[in-house]
Amino acid sequence: MSELTDQVSSSIDALTKEFEIIAHNLANVSTAGFKRRSNAFSQYIETPEAGTETYLPGSIELNSVFDFSQGNIVETGRSLDIALYGKGFFVIETPTGPLYRRNGMFYTNQNGQIMDSQGRIVAGEAGPITIPSDVGIEQVSVSSDGSISADGIPIGKFRLVDFGDNEDKLVPNGENCYAMPDENIQPAVAENIVVKQGYQEASNVKIIDELVDMIMVSRLYEANMKFFTASMEVANTIISAIMA
Partner 1 sequence: MLRAFSTSATGMAAQQLMVDTIANNLANINTTGFKRSQVAFQDLLYITLTEPGTEVVSGTNTPTGLEIGSGVQTAATVKVFSNGELENTNKPLDIAILGEGFLQVSMPNGDIRYTRDGSLQLNANGELVTITGYPIEPAISVPIDATSIDIGKDGGVNITDAAGTQSVVGTIQLARFPNPSGLSSEGGNLLAETLASGTATTGTAGESGFGTIQSGFLEKSNVQMITELVNLITAQRAYETNSRAIRAGDEMLRQANQIARF
Nearer to partner 1, 137 or 189 (CB): 137
Cβ proximity to partner 1: between 182 and 191 the closer is: 182
From 211, 181, 171, select the one nearest 35 (Cα to Cα): 171
Contacting residues for 142 by C-beta, under 8 A, at least 6 apart? 82, 148, 158, 195, 197
Q: Cβ 64 to partner 1, closest distance in Å?
A: 6
10 Å CB burial of residue 126 (0-12, 13-18, 19+) is exposed
Name residues contacting partner 1, limited to 107-166 (CB under 8 A).
107-112, 117-118, 131, 133-139, 151
Cα 191 from chain centroid? 21
Chain positions 48 to 67 lying near partner 1, rule: CB under 8 A, are 53, 62-65
- Mask 179-218, x = binds partner 1 (CB under 8 A)? --xx------------------------x--xx--xx-xx
Q: Assess 38 for contact with partner 1 (CB under 8 A).
A: no
Which one of 43, 54, 76, 237 is in contact with partner 1 (CB under 8 A)? 76
> What number of CA atoms fall less than 13 Å from residue 160's CA on the CB side?
24
Residue 77 lies near partner 1 (rule: CB under 8 A) = yes
105 binds partner 1 (CB under 8 A): yes
Instruction: Name, in order, each residue with C-beta under 8 angstroms of 66's C-beta and a sequence gap of 6 or more.
Output: 35, 36, 37, 38, 167, 168, 170, 172
Residue 34 engages partner 1 in binding (rule: CB under 8 A): yes
